[in-house]
Each structure stands twice: as C-alpha cells, then as structure tokens.
Amino acid sequence: MTEDKPHWIRFGIYELNIEERIILRKGVRLRLQDKPFALLVLLLQHSGQLVDRDELRCKLWPTGTNVDFEHGIRVAMHKLRTALDETAENPRFIETVPGHGYRFIAPMTQYQSKTQIDCPVVVVLPIIGLAPARDIRHVADGFTEELTAQLSNARPRQLSVIGRTTAMCYKGVSKSIATIGNEIGVDYVLEGSVRTHQNILRLTSRLIRVSDQSHLWTASVQGNGSNPVEAQITLSEQIVSSLTAYLFPGEPSSLTMTLALQSDAEALRQFRQGGRFRRYRRRVSSIPRATSRLVYRLFAPTTRRLRRFKAKARLFG
C-alpha cells in the first residue's frame, strides 16, 4: 500500500495543487501559464534552497529546445511575480540571487485534501518569557512546542496548525499581526507570555483574528514550576482545552476527551484483569474434581478385582 502524498500546498494566501495544475488566491482560481506554473512548482519542491540557472534550464527547457533562456526565464518570473503580487525589490515568496538563480523563502504547509485548507488555520507564535532569568527563555520555547503539538492533535480535521519550525522564524521579530498572518496565510494567531514568581509559573495566551486584529479569547493558568516539563504539559493542556471549547462550542474539549480515553483504558484494563481472575478461579475450583478423577483412575482397577475375588469366594464356598 503506497503512502498518500500531499496534494495541496499552502503559502501565504495562495494554495496550489500540482496534479490538477490549480493555483488559488483566497479561494479564487488564478490563470497562470505553463512555464510560470512549472517554475513555481520547481521552486516549491526546493523550498528554502537555491535553484541555480542550470537546473532551471534543464527542467523548464530540456535539451534540444530552441529558446532564448535569458529572455524566457525573465518573462516566466515576471508573470509568476505578477500573479503572486510581489516584486523583485520587495520579495515575499521568491528571492533573486543575482548571477545564480532563485530561492523560495516563504513558509509553506502541505495538505492531503482541500477540506483541510478550508478549515481555520492558526499559528502559535513564540511564547515570550517575562523574566530576567535565562532559564525562562527555554521554558517559553518549551511552551511554544507543547502548545503547538497539543493544538495540532486537538482537532486535526477541524483546525490546521502551522508547524513550530515556521512559527519560530518570528521569534524576536517586530512585525504586526496582520503582516505575520498574511505572510504565513493564517486566520488566527495565538500569542502568549510566561512569567515566574516564587516557583510559580503563569501562562497567559490570547487568540487574535488576523483579518481585523481583534482579541477574541484570552486565558491565564498557573502551576507549580518546580518541574518545568510537567508544568508545560499540564498548563498547555488547560489552555488548549479552553481554546478548543471556545472555537468549537458544544463539543467535548480535548481535555475531556483525553480523560474519557484514559477512563476507557482503565476500564478495559480492569475488565481484562477481572477475566483473568475468573479464569484463575475456575482453575482453582476444578482442582478437587481433577484430584478425584485421578484417584478413581488409580484405584478403580484394584477395586474391581477385589469385587470379582469376593464373588468367586462366595461361589465356591
């Protein structure tokens, strides 16, 4: 059985399907000619890497094609940048490396189906540590990773979460929520901070809508900071549970589902344990019956012989 390959690629406000040769901008299909589309696909396949001019020539204009490469690549790149609404001077997606080639520089996300793209997309921005100690930075990074992981598992079919690696690119970057949202192509941004006081960790999170930069939801939780890893797991679980309850009202929260699964697992364990006890009890109760059968098999022949001997004695007096 072959693995399912991602069919949709999302970068910024654009979505691309390579097999169907479809490119969308905010859900609206764009018209893009073959060469600019092939150029975009090639850059996406080598995202973050330099694609030099020789590779561009081989992939876009194979050997034997009679064409002015310099003119052809300039025209294709101009059409592609026009479709992506950017310029070479202010690139958001494609960087020009003079004399060498091009590099796709924007974060991208891959999906199996269009329905995953249609669901809300959120990014967990790097959590800020509000304390002078250096250790708080590591704790804050741990909260970023834990929140991203738990939120990704909370509603995988209803909520798309941008990966932590992409989110960490915005650590310490002074950009507005609108700029970050448009660059990554998300609907919501989850930001937050963590501070410590007398061995107490307090985590505050806020959900912001990118379209109008309005605060939709906020929550603060705190716990014992003596074990930072345990605190990261517990506090992140509480934040994600509260957030998913806000985004999907009327549905059981991730924490409730987790506790239910744990309860089911415990019930299954006890059921199996009870089954083993019943089997053991049956084996113990069968010992007397087995012993009596063994005694009968050992002494039954001797008993029968004694009975025959007594009968003969009475017969012959």
Percent of the chain with pLDDT over 90: 35
Give the residue among 168, 182, 155, 156 at the shortest CA–CA distance from 251.
Answer: 155
**What is the rounded distance in angstroms from the CA atom of residue 117 to the CA atom of residue 167?**
18
The reply to whether domains 8-111 and 119-251 share a CATH topology is no
34: nearest Cα among 65, 72, 64: 72
User: Under CATH, what is the fold of the domain 119-251?
Assistant: Rossmann fold (3.40.50)
The residues spanned by each domain of the chain are: 8-111, 119-251, 286-315
- Cα–Cα separations (whole angstroms), residue 292 to 281, 288, 289, 297, 300: 18, 6, 5, 9, 11
Q: What percent of the chain has pLDDT over 70?
A: 73
Quote the pLDDT of residue 161.
Answer: 87
* Overall fold of domain 8-111: Arc Repressor Mutant, subunit A (1.10.10)
Tokens read off for 180: 């970050």
315 CB-near residues (< 8 Å, 6+ apart): none
Query: Residues 101-115: pLDDT tens digits?
Result: 999 998 888 877 655
- pLDDT tens-digit readout, 32-43: 999 999 999 999
pTM (2 d.p.): 0.55
Q: How far, in Å, are 125, 147, 162, 204, 295 from residue 232 at the CA level?
A: 16, 8, 19, 12, 66
pLDDT single digits (tens) 261-315: 455 555 556 656 665 555 555 554 555 555 555 545 554 555 555 565 555 555 5
